[in-house]
Structure 1
């Protein structure tokens, strides 16, 4: 990933937090069948290794797992908050006019050694973990045990597990840090006028030194 120094986020805890907040990642492989990408939910076990372990499952009908089993290179991408940034929000536009549009975003990319796991107990544990992760905040969370046992056993026969021990992890928080302070303030104010941009406003303000990080 292209990484200008001022956008680099190297704090493992911050990187892990983005993965947990945005667990639907893009699983990319380069194997014998060529490049392949699938969106899948991941569960992160941060304590399982130095940088953490990612666990997921794929449909057995999905050929991607066979490439992984054969040793394909694996890349997982997790996209956090993002927003289009208009030059109209920059003070610099008023001063010189020398501005262009851009896009702000936070993203994490993970590489590691992946292995395929075809084990019902492992799969059940993975399904329980990702379900608890997503259902936990609900007032009346659904649990895997709410479904009939024979139904769950039948579902497990149709999937296969994948585990990725994280060997390399990169974070990129491109959130207007390269702009003058007045421009950062304009971006935060402009984003604040729209709906659904609270996360990006917070990132612009914290990483831009407008509030405590």
Structure 2
């Protein structure tokens, strides 16, 4: 699942986020497949909906995960204040370093940091990605009809099957009855057996 949290400096420099958005727009508009790998939080942001449900599992930096877990698990106001002070640099970077007055604020701090990590710190590349999605007016259609089009972008857990992979290819066979056709048919049987054996291993 992609939330753009793993930025590539080369991709930014070469404007590949714009190109990715453009390729996705062109594919969907022309009846091709959608990417099905974007996080729901990213798609909700793109379609300008306020829904946000990221969890610590969406953070790829183990050090940050550890800090946020400690904050989330703080049992007393004093321990929470100590953790915030100890990790002030991390929280200041996101703009969420502040004096807390009750233990319940720990959930707000974690939630706000997650939003910054997934969305706000990636603002410039998300903008370029959206510029790419605007190709052929796809972004406009997506924002006007998110209930119809957002599913083309969302990450899905659908498992790739041997049949799916087999259907991606169409063999161009020699005329029926020819020696070459017999060899091709044997090869296709081996290919099919191989795919189903692979599926069985997974």
Larger radius of gyration: 2
TM-score scaled to structure 2, two decimals? 0.25
Judging by fraction of residues, say which structure has more strand: 1
Flag the structure with more relative contact order, 1 or 2, with Cα contacts below 8 A and sequence separation at least 6.
2
